[in-house]
Amino acid sequence: MNDAEQTIKSPCIRHCCLDADDVCVGCYRTIQEIMDWHKSTESQKHDILNQCLIRKNQRPPR
């Protein structure tokens, strides 16, 4: 991979724990999105981050 493919950094905040739906409570990625992150295109990473934001906003407050 070249530098252009590495511009979007992982949203991981090192608070890794999966909920009952296999979504990380730290970054809101699914287990599949976490596993596929490094081989995802920039466009796919943008889509993943958008889905994370939706999941975060839909989660009830703690």
Please check whether residue 10 lies inside any domain of the structure. Answer: no
Whether 23 and 30 have beta carbons less than 8 Å apart is answered as yes
The per-residue pLDDT for 18 is 95
Please check whether residue 9 lies inside any domain of the structure. Answer: no
- Three-class DSSP category at 7: coil
Range of the domain at 31: 15-58
Amino acid, single-letter form, for residue 51: Q
Q: How many domains does the chain have?
A: 1
Whether pTM > 0.75 for this model: the answer is yes
The per-residue pLDDT for 5 is 47
Tokens 């739906």 belong to residue: 21
Q: Residues 24-56: pLDDT tens digits?
A: 999 999 999 999 999 999 999 999 999 999 999
Distance, in Å, from the CA atom of 32 to the CA atom of 22, rounded to the nearest integer, reads: 9
Distance, in Å, from the CA atom of 16 to the CA atom of 27, rounded to the nearest integer, reads: 8
